[in-house]
């Protein structure tokens, strides 16, 4: 029996690798993609420029951007057998499960699958970035008994996704807001899903396997699944009057207010601060029921009640206002987490490339943490096996 001390749980505070892709500064509330502050990227860059920044390690020239856009458009359409397979799936399947299944299936139709080179992994990554959006939109159409809509080559990634989902071209402002949401969700260092992708990539499994693992991880309600829960919570609250009693009731029961709290940020998430005014503006413009004021009051009351009970502050995270924004875009609530993946696929791909092919020290290696066995022994020694009839 060997004794092993537990250093920490959940790997919090443990640095497991080096990365050149992004930096999350929790105390300062800063998010940086390859040296650039997220605020500036959200204001000035398109999602396609972010894909280039993450995958090719620099902002593109005009020609490089055109080439990337061309490649993305060329790969948007799903292989026909994948559409046929989606048509056989149960209509009430969880969309994140469909994404995992769809990505696993797409692997078989990728001509680069068995090529282990960096270039082949890059090619597959770009196809995945291009196709994940199509997969989400196609699934929503299929589950509603409608044929998938062909991608529109005149539209950029964000606008094309909204078009494939609804069948009508979004106005310029809505397309831009969605593009900004994709920019904001693209990358966030070693969060749970990215770590899942890197952990699988560290075994030299192909990128489709790594992305399937990441999708599974993202689906959880403590991670990407939180944006769905935020909207469900707002719908349940329903009115400004219900906010305060809802907060007290949730905290009395020891449950969590979704969209508050973060494992790294110890201040408001910079992405939430960018998303909130966009959600407000779009709601005002579309003139439907206003969820933004309810969310705003919930943030205020939730923070105050948390502070009163725990004596510490809690902050708003990215999922809080992205939920309100997507709802104002009339996107079905259960697609909010798949949309997170439509963006984060770019960050995951960058991390898979780094995990597999980084040449700078310290080089990545197969992840193999230790665990402390706290299970059963028979006295000081191992148990002796008792045959079935004698048990």
Ligand X SMILES: CC(C)(COP(=O)(O)OP(=O)(O)OC[C@H]1O[C@@H](n2cnc3c(N)ncnc32)[C@H](O)[C@@H]1OP(=O)(O)O)[C@@H](O)C(=O)NCCC(=O)NCCS
Catalytic residues: 262, 319
Find the binding residues for ligand X in span 45-84 (CB under 6 A): none
Nearer to ligand X, 160 or 317 (CB): 317
Secondary structure of residue 46 in the 3-state scheme: coil
**Cα first-last separation, the chain:** 25
User: Is residue 319 involved in binding ligand X (CB under 6 A)?
Assistant: yes
Backbone angles phi, psi at 260, to 5 degrees: -115, 145
Choose among 92, 100, 156, 155: nearest CA to 132. 100
Closest approach of ligand X to the CB of residue 205, in Å: 26
Find the binding residues for ligand X in span 210-269 (CB under 6 A): 222, 226, 256-263
Closest approach of ligand X to the CB of residue 189, in Å: 12
In the list 123, 209, 317, 337, the residue contacting ligand X (rule: CB under 6 A) is 317
Span from 44-52, 87-95, 98-106, 313-321 in contact with ligand X (CB under 6 A):
313-321
Nearer to ligand X, 75 or 320 (CB): 320
Nearer to ligand X, 190 or 306 (CB): 306
Nearer to ligand X, 163 or 315 (CB): 315
Closest approach of ligand X to the CB of residue 235, in Å: 16
Residue of minimal Cβ distance to ligand X: 261
Closest approach of ligand X to the CB of residue 317, in Å: 4
* DSSP letters spanning 296-313: HHHHHHHHHHHHHHHSS-
Closest approach of ligand X to the CB of residue 84, in Å: 35
- Per the CB < 8 A criterion, the answer to whether 340 and 192 are in contact is no
Q: Would you give the distance in Å from CA 110 to the centre of its chain?
A: 23
Closest approach of ligand X to the CB of residue 184, in Å: 12
User: Is residue 318 involved in binding ligand X (CB under 6 A)?
Assistant: yes
Q: Would you give the distance in Å from CA 206 to the centre of its chain?
A: 20
Residue bearing tokens 């009051």: 297
Nearer to ligand X, 93 or 235 (CB): 235
Nearer to ligand X, 208 or 327 (CB): 327
* Size of the residue set binding ligand X (CB under 6 A): 15
**Spatial separation of the C-alpha atoms in residues 27 and 24, rounded to whole Å:** 9
Residue bearing tokens 């984060």: 344
Cα-Cα-Cα-Cα dihedral sign, residues 94, 100, 103, 105: negative
- Per the CB < 8 A criterion, the answer to whether 94 and 334 are in contact is yes
Nearer to ligand X, 166 or 267 (CB): 267
Residue bearing tokens 């990358």: 187
Long-range Cβ contact pairs of 2-9 (< 8 A, separation 24 or more): 3/372, 4/370, 4/371, 4/372, 4/373, 5/372, 6/372
Closest approach of ligand X to the CB of residue 318, in Å: 6
How open is the CA angle 62-67-72, to the nearest 5 degrees?
125
Secondary structure of residue 194 in the 3-state scheme: helix
User: Is residue 296 involved in binding ligand X (CB under 6 A)?
Assistant: no
- Per the CB < 8 A criterion, the answer to whether 224 and 215 are in contact is no
Closest approach of ligand X to the CB of residue 219, in Å: 12
Nearer to ligand X, 14 or 263 (CB): 263
Choose among 94, 98, 53: nearest CA to 78. 98
Q: Which two tokens stand for residue 305?
A: 């009640």
Q: What is the DSSP letter of 242?
A: G
Secondary structure of residue 339 in the 3-state scheme: helix
User: Is residue 303 involved in binding ligand X (CB under 6 A)?
Assistant: no
Could you list the residues that contact ligand X (CB under 6 A)?
Answer: 222, 226, 256-263, 306, 314, 317-319
């Amino acid at each position: 029996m060997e004794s092993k001390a537990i250093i920490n749980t959940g790997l919090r505070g443990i640095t497991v690798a080096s990365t050149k892709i992004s930096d999350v500064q929790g105390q300062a509330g800063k998010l940086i993609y390859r040296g650039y502050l997220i605020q500036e990227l959200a204001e000035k860059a398109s999602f396609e420029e972010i894909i280039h920044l993450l995958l090719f390690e620099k902002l593109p020239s005009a020609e490089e951007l055109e080439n990337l856009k061309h490649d993305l458009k060329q790969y948007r359409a799903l292989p026909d057998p994948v559409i046929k397979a989606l048509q056989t799936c149960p209509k009430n399947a969880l969309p994140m499960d469909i994404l995992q299944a769809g990505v696993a299936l797409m692997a078989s139709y990728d001509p680069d699958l068995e090529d282990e080179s960096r270039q082949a992994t890059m090619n597959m990554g770009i196809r995945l970035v291009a196709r994940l959006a199509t997969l989400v939109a196609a699934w929503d159409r299929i589950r509603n008994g409608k044929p998938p809509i062909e991608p529109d080559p005149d539209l950029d990634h964000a606008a094309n996704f909204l078009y494939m989902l609804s069948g009508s071209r979004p106005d310029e402002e809505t397309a831009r807001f969605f593009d900004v949401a994709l920019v904001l969700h693209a990358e966030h260092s070693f969060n749970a899903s990215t770590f899942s992708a890197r952990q699988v990539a560290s075994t030299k499994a192909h990128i489709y396997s790594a992305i399937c693992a990441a999708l599974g991880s993202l689906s959880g309600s403590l991670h990407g699944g939180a944006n769905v829960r935020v909207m469900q919570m707002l719908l349940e609250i329903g009115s400004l009057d219900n906010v305060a009693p809802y907060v007290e009731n949730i905290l009395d029961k020891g449950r969590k207010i979704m969209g508050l709290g973060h494992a790294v940020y110890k201040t408001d998430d910079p992405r939430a601060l960018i998303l909130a005014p966009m959600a407000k503006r779009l709601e005002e413009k579309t003139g439907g029921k206003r969820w933004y004021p309810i969310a705003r009051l919930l943030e205020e009351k939730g923070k105050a009640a948390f502070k009163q009970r725990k004596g510490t502050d809690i902050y708003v995270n990215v999922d809080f206002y992205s939920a309100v924004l997507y709802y104002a875009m009339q996107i079905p609530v259960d697609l909010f987490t798949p949309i997170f993946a439509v963006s984060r696929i770019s960050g995951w791909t960058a991390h898979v490339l780094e995990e597999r092919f980084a040449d700078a020290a310290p080089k990545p290696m197969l992840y193999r943490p230790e665990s402390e066995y706290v299970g059963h022994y028979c006295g000081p020694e191992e148990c002796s096996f008792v045959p079935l009839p004698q048990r």
